[in-house]
A and B are shown apart, each in its own frame.
Chain A
Amino acid sequence: MTGKKIRAVSQSKESAEILGIDSLSVRQTAWVIGIASAGLMGALVGLVNPFSPYAGTTYLITAFTVAILGGMGSMFGTIIAGFIVGMTESLFSIILPSQITPVIAFIIIIVALTVRPEGLFSRS
């Protein structure tokens, strides 16, 4: 039910409210789910990678890259795109120094947004 409500509110806030959905609480639920999974992933990254208070933007843009490359709101696309971005970064770290491998993700997002902004697997 929660997932259906979230998609309903994202499609049309007004129509969803007419049908008795509390759009604020739905958006809060989406926020909590999204942020909780981000926090969980942050904990995992902290276990395997060095990180600092300044490290956030890199992960933020990597998250953008994966979500946009896969197509916004597409679960299958996100899985594939996460695989593509992660593997590309690892492969380029063979030939590039490790400090600048995050640049690969940024270049991917720039190319993806200019060439195919709707993502690889968007439902459109």
Chain B
Amino acid sequence: MPIENEKMAMRNNGQINQRTYLTIMVLGMIALGLPLLRFPTREYILSVLTFVFIYKALGQSWNILGGFAKQFSLGHAAFFGLGAFLTAFGCQLGAPALLSLVIAGILVALVSYPLGRICFAAKGPYFTIITLALAEIFRIIFLWRPELSGSEGLTLPVNFFSKNINMYYLALTMAAGFILIVIMFLLPNGLLSLVYKTGTQMGPLAVRISRKEKTAGSSSRVV
């Protein structure tokens, strides 16, 4: 049975070969050099690509949880939005833009730990329902308090994020970083598995998660 599980996981995750690495690198190079060119619709294209990269990173982040670890979370939006709000609060308090971005990421990770403990206490579809309920709690609380933006939203002062080109490179870095994380830790023949020679064909993290995928709770204890 465990062997079957690993086979299934391998088929789902797919092997990555040198051509894929090459494609990723070429596309990355093109994306890196694109803003240097001057063409008529440059600003528009850059703003569209910024969102492409943001969605790429967001999708990849859900893929780590839902695709590799098979924990289907509908509460992803809560942490997505919490990161956005904390960054905005940091900017409003006058912190440098990038510093508030990093601090927001760390704070969201800290908040996610106790919430993750709550979620992982349930198993299977119940995990999904709990994440959905948590996301709704966040939404209601943020809509309720005027000091947490209420229903009107926040306005940011002009800063690092205001320039299109900065956002472009920031989003590109994020997307590249997330893809790198997946390549290193989660793919069957990821980079770390070559270094550590785990003896299996799975990435080290993916092995530990998929071996105990019966309940969400057990996978949280293993990792």
Contacts and interface: CB of A to CB of B under 8 A. Distances in A.
Contacts, number: 48
A106 B136 contact: yes
A117 interface: yes
Interface string A24-54: 0000000000000000000000000000000
A102 interface: yes
Interface residues of B, number: 16
A113 B140 contact: no
Contact of B129 (A58, A103, A113): A113
A103 B199 CA distance: 47
A113 B132 CA distance: 13
Nearest to B127: A113
A64 B132 CA distance: 11
Given A61-B129, A100-B141, A114 B118 contact: yes
Interface in B109-128: 118, 121-123, 126
B144 interface: yes
A58 B126 contact: no
A68 interface: yes
B167 interface: no
B123 A100 contact: no
A102 B132 CA distance: 13
Contact of A61 (B118, B133, B141, B144): B133
B143 A99 contact: yes
A52 to B, nearest CB: 11
A68 B143 contact: no
B143 A117 contact: no
A75 interface: no
B137 interface: yes
A114 B136 contact: no
Contacts of A107: 137
Interface in A83-124: 97, 99-100, 102-103, 106-107, 109-110, 113-114, 117
B129 A102 contact: no
B130 interface: yes
Contact of A103 (B118, B123, B132, B140): B140
Contacts of B126: 68, 113, 117
A102 B130 contact: no
Contacts of A110: 118, 130, 133-134
Contacts of B141: 100, 103
Interface of B: 118, 121-123, 126, 129-130, 132-134, 136-137, 140-141, 143-144
19 contacts: A57-B132, A58-B136, A58-B140, A61-B129, A61-B132, A64-B133, A99-B143, A99-B144, A100-B140, A102-B140, A106-B134, A106-B136, A113-B122, A113-B130, A114-B121, A114-B122, A114-B130, A117-B123, A117-B126
